[in-house]
A and B are shown apart, each in its own frame.
Chain A
Amino acid sequence: MRMNFVLIFLITIFSLSLFFYGRSKTKSISIEKNIKLNALPKFYGYYLVLWCSIPSLVFLLIWTLFEPVIIKSIIIETAANQGAIFNDKNEANLIYEKIKAIYAGTYFGDIDTILKESALSYAKFINLFTNSKIVLIFAIVIASVIYSLKKIKNNNKARDDVEVILKGLLFASSLIAILTTLGIIFSLLFESIKFFSVINIFDYLFGTNWSPQRAFVRDASAITAEEYDELKDAFGFIPLIAGTSFIAFIAMLVAVPIGLFSGIYMAEYASVKIRRISKPIIEILAGIPTVVYGFFAALTVGPFFRQIGENLGLTVSSESALAAGLIMGIMIIPYVSSLSDDVINSVPQSLRDGSYAVGATKSETIKKVVIPAALPGIIGSVLLAVSRAIGETMIVVMAAGLAANLTINPLESTTTITTQIVMILVGDQEFDSPKTQSAFALGLTLFIATLVLNYIAQRAVKKYREKYD
């Protein structure tokens, strides 16, 4: 690992020095041969730098990714040849970890001959791989430098070539972003498929009981028919979507009116001075970490509601949908307010003028002309806020409760999709138990729900924008 840093450092230093070399070299060529260069000298410098660094660094990255995998398979195979016995992948992994620990000098158990031999060959391979890595990288650097030097001596169009290389770099970066997203989607998808191969998708979508702990240590691949009967009603999605929508609904009851009204105030009434001060203050709300909202909800608002409830003779759970929804609503206010401020601002002034000119007051103009004109955009901003609300995790984990009650009483505790995902994946788990896999199914469902909402919202906002541009 340390070798990698040394290599990166050397490549960087060498490439940078090539910049100055390339620049002065082409200058002198142009003077000697009295020719006009095809680009400014600095582009020849850039050209050398890019050619020297990119191929070698890309090679280093790929090598570093694959080296452990290859060494591992070789070592496990040699260990097996030497007579090590392992029944499955897990045992093989265990032996490999032991070998690595022996090599690193951090293994304190008994070392038998098989382990010793394997550790020796591990050391041998590590050395071999490191050495060949260094040799190959030097070869690549030398080859690419020779190639690019030859190019610049022939007075290539370095400016255009640099452009092409940079375009490639930018493309690669966006490709990485897209591939990562796809990777996340597929990992969700595959794990969910595993889950749905055990639990019928209709039992999941329409079941009204959620108690995944019943499936804790069961191996998904070995569930009998009787066991399935017992399990099939443990993964009912209905209480979770009900709880999620319920809390999101309460949050919207708070966030939409307050956010919309403050957006209207900001866009239409606030003077430049007030706007300059208050808009950042509202937007600070969006910057508060949700965990802070979470303990505010759990420690302050929840008990406060319970106290009020007691005084009124009501039973209020200290983890209530009301407390969680209220705080979530407050968290979402800046999204609604800032987005609706934007859409209201982009309603053309000429419409307001038209309304004032027939003698409408400011509030009449806002109510009857500005808001109707901005409505699609406002709806879009509300939908974006809804998708924030159903994806929000920390506040509900801390303030909404864990039990999957199917209830519409805001004073009782309820739970959400995100809370359950957290509960399932916290602590030790068996990765092939339906309980763990159900988290991925929940994640996929949540992802699809927010994706649809975002899509609709963005369409609405876009449609609105096009209308006046």
Chain B
Amino acid sequence: MELMNEIKIKSKNLNVYYGEKQALFDVNLDLNEKEVTALIGPSGCGKSTFIRCINRMNDVIDICKVSGNIEIDGVEINDKNLDVVSLRERVGMVFQKPNPFPKSIYDNISYGPKIHGKGETKSELDEIVENSLKKAALWEEVKDRLDEPGTGLSGGQQQRLCIARAISVNPEVILMDEPCSALDPIATAKIEELIDELKKTYTIVIVTHSMAQAVRVSQKTGFFHLGKLIEVGKTEKIFKNPDNKMTQDYITGRFG
């Protein structure tokens, strides 16, 4: 019997509104440390909205209002006085479409550490860049061309570059918003392999449209529908023997 890891992130009665429209309804979801949690559900069901609450990326959207609680290590992050910048330093994010900066590969990685004052000297920075790229399994492919633009890499490499960028500031949590939806199967396989490796160090939340991917990479799965968390549990259970009829219908492809 595998031991459940400790709870890292806890959401309580989380509601999100975009203007008049409510996007999330009373979501209560616990995410375990050093584990991969997959969020599945049809488009527009609120799973991306949910993970964007964890690093408060929704702050960027003017009309978005969040109520309820999210705690990381027992500390409330929806607090007005919380330093969003240091929250995002702890909670990294990888987006649906690879979004490297139009800068060199090196500068893409060193960007985060530099603004947080990590890596004061050139050699420290070099080390951070090398380690991040190694952790993102990209080092071998790019070590000889660190000064070339990051936008010149292939799609899969760009996405691993973005993962390396997220790792570079040494976060505790990595949020991944459909990280493979713009990639081909081989690049996807590499990223999934990487996620498996990363979960030893980081708490990972991944939004995905591919149920096969959820099965392959995650230990826990949450199913969202129309802004509500319908069911959450161990991935094996959700996919083999869900409690809810709707979950059953979704994973067997009857809707969504």
Chains A and B belong together in one complex = yes
Question: Which segment of A191-199, A297-305, A309-317, A348-356 sits at the interface?
Answer: A348-356
Q: B92: which A residues are within 8 A, CB to CB? A: 357-358
- Within A170-225, the residues touching B (CB, 8 Å) are none
Which one of B60, B62, B166 contacts A358 once the chains associate, using CB atoms below 8 Å? B166
Considering only residues 83-120 of chain B, those with a C-beta below 8 Å from chain A are: 85-89, 92-95, 97, 99-103, 111-112, 115-116
* Set of chain A residues within 8 Å of B101, measured between Cβ atoms: 351, 354-355, 369, 372-373
Contact B85 A361 (CB under 8 A): yes
Interface string of A328-362 (1 = CB under 8 A from B): 00000000000000000000101111111111110
- Is A368 an interface residue when CB atoms closer than 8 A count as contact? yes
Q: A358-B88, A359-B115 are in contact. Are A351 and B57 (CB under 8 A)?
A: no
Kindly supply a per-residue 1/0 record for chain A positions 456-469, scoring 1 wherever the CB is within 8 Å of any chain B CB and 0 otherwise. 00000000000100
Please, how many angstroms separate the alpha-carbon atoms of A353 and B89 in the complex?
13
B95 A368 Cβ-Cβ under 8 A:
no
A349 nearest CB neighbor, chain B only: B60
What is the chain A residue whose CB lies nearest that of B56? A356
Is the pair B86, A354 in contact by a Cβ cutoff of 8 Å? no
Interface residues of A in 355-380 (CB under 8 A from B): 355-361, 364, 368-369, 372-373
- A135 close to B (CB within 8 Å): no
> Which residues on the A side are within 8 Å of B162 (C-beta)?
354
Query: A368 to B99, Cβ gap below 8 A?
Result: no
Partner of B102, one of A272, A353, A364, A372: A372
Contact between A358 and B99 (Cβ–Cβ < 8 Å)? no
- Give Cα A467–Cα B100 distance, bound, in whole angstroms: 13
Partner of B93, one of A272, A351, A357: A357
Rounded to whole Å, the gap between the CB of B223 and the closest CB of chain A is: 25
The reply to whether A348 and B111 contact each other, CB–CB distance below 8 Å, is: no
Interface flag for A87 (CB, 8 Å):
no
B93: nearest residue on chain A (CB-CB)? A357
Contacts of B57 in A (CB 8 A): 353, 356-357
Given contacts A359-B115, A359-B169, contact A352 B102 (CB under 8 A): no
Docked-complex contact A360 and B99, CB < 8 angstroms? no
Check if B168 is an interface residue, CB within 8 A of chain A. yes
B37 proximal to A (CB < 8 A): no
Cβ contacts under 8 Å, A467 to chain B: 102
CA distance in complex: A353, B177 (Å)? 12
Chain A 255-275: CB-based contact to B (< 8 A → 1; otherwise 0):
000000000000000011000
Task: A453 to B10: give the CA distance in the assembly, Å.
Answer: 58
A353 to B93, CA, bound (A): 9
Q: B15 within 8 Å of A by Cβ?
A: no
CA distance A217 to B6 in the complex (A): 98
Q: Which residues of A contact B100 (CB under 8 A)?
A: 354
Contact B85–A354 (Cβ < 8 Å): no
Q: A69-98 CB contact bits vs B (8 Å, 1 = yes)?
A: 000000000000000000000000000000
- Interface flags for A267-289 (1: CB within 8 Å of B; 0: not) read 00001100000000000000000
Residues from 158 to 185 in B contacting A, C-beta threshold 8 Å: 162, 165-166, 168-169
* Chain A: interface size category: 20 to 34
Residues of B close to A354: CB separation below 8 A: 95, 99-101, 162, 165
The complex places the Cα of A355 from the Cα of B88 at a distance, in Å, of 10
- Whether B247 is near chain A, meaning CB under 8 Å from some CB there, is no
Q: How close is A365's CB to chain B, nearest CB, in angstroms?
A: 9
Nearest Cβ in chain A — how far from B171, in angstroms?
Answer: 9
Q: How far is the CB of A355 from chain B (nearest CB, A)?
A: 7
Residue B32 at the chain A interface, CB threshold 8 Å: no
Q: Is residue B55 within 8 Å, beta carbon to beta carbon, of the partner chain?
A: yes
Q: Give chain A interface residues in 20-75, CB to chain B under 8 Å.
A: none
Across the interface, A356 reaches (CB within 8 A) one of B60, B62, B102, B103, namely B60
Q: Which A residues lie within 8 Å of B55 (CB)?
A: 357
Closest to A350 in B: B99
* Whole-angstrom CA separation of A283 from B203 in the bound complex: 50
CB distance from B198 to the nearest CB of A (A): 16
Taken together as a complex, chains A and B put the C-alpha atoms of A357 and B93 apart, in Å, by 6
List of A residues within 8 angstroms of B93 by Cβ: 353, 357
CB distance from B241 to the nearest CB of A (A): 36
Decide: A353 and B115 in contact? CB cutoff 8 A. Answer: no
A353 contacts across to B, CB distance below 8 A:
57, 60, 93, 95, 99
Contact pick for B169, options A351, A356, A358, CB 8 Å: A358
Contact across chains for A352 and B85 when beta carbons are under 8 A apart: no
In the assembly, what is the distance between CA of A357 and CA of B90, in Å?
10
Q: B95 to A350, Cβ gap below 8 A?
A: yes
Choose among B86, B97, B112 the residue that contacts A350 (Cβ–Cβ < 8 A). B97
Q: A368 — which chain B residues lie within 8 A by C-beta?
A: 111, 115
Known: A353-B57, A353-B60, A354-B165. A359 touches B86 (CB 8 A): yes
Q: Chain B 14-39 against A: per-residue CB contact (8 Å), 1 yes, 0 no?
A: 00000000000000000000000000
| Cβ distance B183 to chain A, nearest Cβ, rounded Å | 15
Which of chain A's residues have a CB closer than 8 A to the CB of B95?
350, 353-354, 357
> In whole angstroms, how far apart are the Cα atoms of A351 and B98 in the complex?
10
Residues in A whose Cβ lies below 8 Å from that of B88 = 356-359
The contact string, 1 if C-beta is below 8 Å from chain A, for chain B 49-70, is 0000001010010100000000
Q: Which residues of B contact A361 (CB under 8 A)?
A: 85, 115
CB distance from B66 to the nearest CB of A (A): 16
Q: Are A357 and B116 in contact (CB under 8 A)?
A: no
Give chain B residues whose Cβ lies under 8 Å from the Cβ of A372: 101-103
Residue of chain B at shortest CB distance from A374: B102
A361 to B116, CA, bound (A): 10
Binding site for B on A (CB under 8 A): 271-272, 348, 350-361, 364, 368-369, 372-373, 467
Known contacts A353-B57, A357-B92, A359-B115; 7 additional CB pairs below 8 A are: A351-B101, A355-B111, A357-B57, A361-B85, A372-B102, A372-B103, A373-B101
**Please, could you name 6 A-B residue pairs with CB atoms under 8 Å apart, sorted by A?**
A353-B57, A353-B95, A356-B88, A357-B57, A361-B115, A364-B115
List the 9 closest A-B pairs by CB distance, nearest first.
A358-B112, A359-B89, A357-B93, A350-B99, A359-B88, A354-B99, A359-B85, A373-B102, A360-B115
